[in-house]
């Protein structure tokens, strides 16, 4: 192992420029998210109703009804990036929650139990809870417990997992009927009316924002790639929390302009791109810059990843909003079988002309991480390119050994030389 370390060490010691270029529109993003979190604090005091949603729930419906959406998973990422998750996980564990439970769930529950320890003192108390199990089964029990601790009504939108391509129509029908029930639930518990006219307006803005986000991701096929993993992981916040709003559309317009300018100038997210890799799974939030910089120092960029491209499904322009919502929200990356994931990753490897891939074996996220060893074998067999598995957790830093990861990254990059 010792003989492999110099690849990174030499790069670290070099007096050259920083390995990573910062995005100008990072400031725009910061203002946007600060404004959003300010609204979640002030809105309820002014009589606005608020809803907590899972990241894969159809936000366009509550948004069109004037409700403020809040996302415990996005908040978990914020706590992870600020290195505040650990104490909140411990607060949840002190109440009996297992350390094996997803760390977003523990962070969120910990912020409910100990808001004084939580960034922003936690999310604002919701009027209703909406969970969609298209990302995992964990959210069903997590939201049930939130309903218990917060004493608010909860709706579960069940979108069955399916291996079939295309998804069988009866599964779409089943989800569409629940979307109708979701509207009734929200109307009853928030006393806000659903209007198709307003929904279509929000859906149009959502489509436009998602389209711009897709275009930003597509621009990363360029060499060098104009956006890196850290850029995309940070820039995805509005597509999760604010799609369907004008501010999200404006931000992705600005991001696309800056990304396109980088492509025109031949400027990459990292200064010296010699290798291109795929990233699989959620970011390691508490070391997001440290880890990707370690790759950048060794000349490796990440033009694509499986996580930030999960929010690229656009609502179809269907007359029946419930069917359109059911179709798009049933068919997301984590709600499909292993073969579909391998196919998607293999196609990314070709399209983005990658030299290898890195799989984050995320202790928290079982649906994302189970099967990764099979995926690694199969991807290498199909593409002839090598992969690296890094063991960590997205926000619980107790499962992260920085020196071991550095050594693995160094060895992997040396192998690619």
Residue numbers at the binding site for ligand SF4 (CB under 6 A):
73, 102, 104, 135-136, 138-139, 334, 364-365, 367-368
What is the C-alpha to C-alpha distance for residues 237 and 241, in angstroms, rounded to an integer? 6
Instruction: Kindly tell me which of 80 and 321 has the beta carbon lying closer to ligand SF4.
Output: 80
CB 348 within 8 A of CB 383: no
Q: Bin 121: left if φ > 0, else alpha if -120 < ψ < 50, else beta.
A: left
User: Do 276 and 348 meet the contact criterion of CB atoms below 8 Å apart?
Assistant: no
Closest distance to ligand SF4 from the beta carbon of 395 (Å)? 9
First to last CA, the chain: 16
Question: Where in 105-194 does DSSP place strands (E)?
Answer: 128-132, 154-157
Q: Find the shortest distance in angstroms from Cβ 177 to ligand SF4.
A: 24
- Identity of the residue, 144 or 350, whose beta carbon is nearer to ligand SF4 in the bound complex: 144
Strand partners, 186: none
Strand, helix or coil at 315? coil
Least CB distance to ligand SF4 at residue 150 (A): 18
In angstroms, rounded to a whole number, what is the distance separating the alpha carbons of residues 208 and 191?
29
Least separation, in Å, of the C-beta of 34 and ligand SF4?
A: 24
Query: Strand 300-305 relative to strand 356-362: parallel, antiparallel, unpaired?
Result: unpaired
**Considering the complex, what minimum distance in angstroms separates the CB of residue 396 from ligand SF4?**
11
| Shorter beta-carbon distance to ligand SF4: residue 8 or 334 | 334
Toward ligand SF4, which CB reaches closer, 99 or 367? 367
Nearer to ligand SF4, 138 or 361 (CB): 138
Instruction: Please report where in the chains the tokens 């199990």 appear, as a residue.
Output: 133
Q: CB 139 → ligand SF4: shortest distance, Å?
A: 5
Nearest partner of 35 among 311, 238, 234, 211, judged by Cα: 238
Closer to ligand SF4 by CB, 135 or 237: give it. 135
Task: Report CA 50 to chain centroid distance, whole Å.
Answer: 21
CA–CA separation, 213 and 251 (whole Å):
10
Q: Nearer Cβ to ligand SF4, position 133 or 206?
A: 133
Q: Which is nearer to ligand SF4, 136 or 234 (CB)?
A: 136
Q: Which residue has the tokens 């803005």?
A: 205
User: b/e for 370-389, b at 16 or more Cβ within 10 A?
Assistant: eebeebbebbeeebebebbb
CB of 335 to ligand SF4, least distance (A): 10
Closest distance to ligand SF4 from the beta carbon of 39 (Å) = 24
């Amino acid at each position: 192992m010792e003989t492999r370390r110099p690849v990174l060490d030499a790069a670290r010691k070099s007096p050259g420029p920083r390995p990573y270029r910062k995005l100008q529109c990072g400031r725009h993003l910061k203002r946007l998210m600060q404004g959003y979190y300010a609204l979640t604090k002030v809105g309820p005091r002014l009589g606005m109703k608020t809803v907590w949603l899972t990241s894969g729930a159809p936000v366009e419906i509550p948004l069109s009804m004037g409700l403020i959406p809040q996302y415990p998973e996005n908040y978990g990422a914020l706590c992870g990036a600020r290195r505040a998750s650990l104490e909140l996980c411990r607060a949840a564990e002190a109440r009996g929650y297992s350390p094996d439970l997803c760390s977003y769930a523990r962070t969120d529950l910990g912020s409910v139990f100990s808001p004084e320890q939580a960034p922003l003192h936690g999310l604002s108390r919701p009027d209703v809870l909406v969970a969609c199990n298209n990302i995992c089964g964990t959210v069903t029990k997590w939201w049930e417990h939130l309903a218990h601790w917060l004493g608010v009504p909860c709706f579960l939108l069940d979108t069955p997992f399916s291996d079939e391509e295309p998804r069988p129509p009866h599964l779409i029908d089943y989800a569409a009927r629940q979307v109708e029930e979701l509207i009734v639930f929200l109307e009853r518990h928030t006393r806000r009316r659903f209007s198709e006219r307003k929904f279509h307006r929000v859906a149009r803005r959502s489509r436009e924002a998602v389209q711009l986000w897709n275009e930003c991701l597509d621009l990363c096929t360029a060499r060098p790639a104009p956006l890196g993993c850290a850029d995309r992981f940070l820039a995805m916040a509005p597509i999760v929390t604010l799609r369907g709003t004008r501010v999200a559309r404006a931000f992705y317009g600005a991001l696309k302009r800056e990304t396109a300018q980088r492509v025109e100038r031949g400027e990459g997210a990292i200064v010296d791109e010699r290798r291109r890799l795929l990233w699989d799974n959620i970011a390691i939030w508490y070391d997001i810059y440290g880890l990707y910089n370690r790759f950048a120092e060794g000349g490796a960029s990440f033009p694509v990843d499986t996580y930030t491209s999960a929010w690229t499904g656009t609502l179809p322009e269907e007359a029946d909003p419930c069917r359109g919502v059911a179709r798009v929200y049933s068919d997301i990356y984590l709600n499909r079988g292993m073969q579909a994931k391998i196919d998607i990753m293999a196609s990314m490897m070709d399209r983005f002309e990658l030299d290898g891939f890195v799989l984050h074996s995320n202790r928290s996220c079982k649906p994302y991480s189970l099967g990764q060893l099979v995926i690694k074998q199969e991807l290498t067999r199909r593409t002839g390119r090598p992969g690296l598995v890094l063991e960590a957790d997205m926000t619980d830093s107790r499962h992260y050994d920085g020196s071991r990861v550095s050594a693995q990254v160094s060895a992997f990059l040396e192998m690619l030389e």
